[in-house]
Structure 1
Amino acid sequence: MTIRVLVADDESMIRAGLRMVLEAEEDIEVVGDASSGGTAVRAVAALRPDVVLMDVRMPGMDGLAATRRILATDPDVRVVVLTTFNEDGYVREALRAGAAGFLLKVAPPERLVEAIRVAARGEALLDPLVTRSVIAAFAGLRTEPGPPPRLDLLTPREAEVLHMLARGLSNAELAAELVVSDATAKTHVARVLMKLGLRDRVHAVIYAYEHGLVRPT
Structure 2
Amino acid sequence: MEDTGKHTPYGQPTSAVPVGVLAGDPLLRAGVVSALRGRPGIRLVEGDQREASVLVAVTSDIRSLPYLVGESERQARLVLVADPPQPGDLWTAIESGLVVFVPREEASPHRLRRAISDACQGHGHLPPEQLGQMLQDLARLHCDVLVPHDLTPTGLSNREATVLRLLADGRDTAEIATEMAYSERTVKNILHKLTSRLGLRNRTHAVSYALRHGLI
Residue 8 and residue 68 in structure 1: after superposition, are their counterparts in 2 closer, same or farther (change >3 A)? Answer: closer
CA contact (8 A) 2:78 2:96 kept: no
Which residue is equivalent to 1:203? none
Give the letter aligned to residue 25 of structure 2.
E
- How much has 1:24 moved relative to structure 2? 5.5
Does 2:69 align with 1:64? no
Q: Deviations over 1:146-197 (max 9, x none)?
A: 99457xx9xxxxxxxxxxxxxxxxxxxxxxxxxxxxxxxxxxxxxxx96359
8 Å CA contact retained: 2:22, 2:56:
yes
Corresponding residue for residue 30 of structure 2: 16
Q: Is the 8 A contact 1:80 1:102 kept in 2?
A: yes
What is the aligned partner in structure 2 of residue 51 from structure 1?
Answer: 54
- Paired with 2:59 and 2:136, the residues of 1 have a C-alpha distance of 20
Which amino acid in the other structure matches residue 3 of structure 1?
A: V
C-alpha separation in 1, matches of 2:80 and 2:33: 16
Q: Separation in 1 of the partners of 2:26 and 2:92?
A: 25
Distance 1:137 1:121, change over 3 A: same
Unpaired runs of 5+ residues, structure 1, are 33-41, 154-192, 198-217
Return the offset for 1:119.
1.4
Contact 1:67/1:98 (8 A) holds in 2: no
Q: Secondary structure at the match of 2:214?
A: helix
Separation of aligned partners in 1, 2:215 and 2:44? 34
The residue matched to 2:71 in structure 1 has which SS?
Answer: helix
Residue 30 (structure 1) aligned to one of 44, 49, 54: 44
Kept in 1: contact 2:81–2:107 (CA 8 A): no
Pick the structure with greater CA Rg: 2
Q: 1:56, 1:63 within 8 Å by CA — same for their partners in 2?
A: yes
For residues 107 and 96 of structure 2, what CA distance do their matches in structure 1 show? 25
RCO higher in 1 or 2 (8 Å CA, sep ≥ 6)? 1
Distance 2:68 2:27 in 1: 21
Match of 1:137 in 2: 137
Q: Secondary structure at the match of 1:100?
A: strand
For the Cα contact (< 8 Å) 2:22–2:57, is it kept in 1?
yes
CA contact (8 A) 2:60 2:83 kept: no
Deviation at 1:28, TM superposition (A): 1.2
* 1:101–1:124 CA contact under 8 A, matched in 2: yes
Indicate if the aligned counterparts of 1:56 and 1:64 stay in contact, CA closer than 8 A. no
RMSD: 3.5
Shift, 1:69, TM fit: 0.7
Find the partner of 1:6 among 20, 44, 64: 20
CA distance in 2, matches of 1:113, 1:6: 13
How far did residue 85 of structure 1 move?
4.1
Q: What TM-score, normalized by structure 2, do the two folds share?
A: 0.52
Q: What stretches of structure 2 of length at least 5 have no aligned partner?
A: 1-14, 153-157, 166-211
Looking at structure 2, the residues matched to 196 and 101 of structure 1 have their Cα atoms a distance apart, in angstroms, of: 25
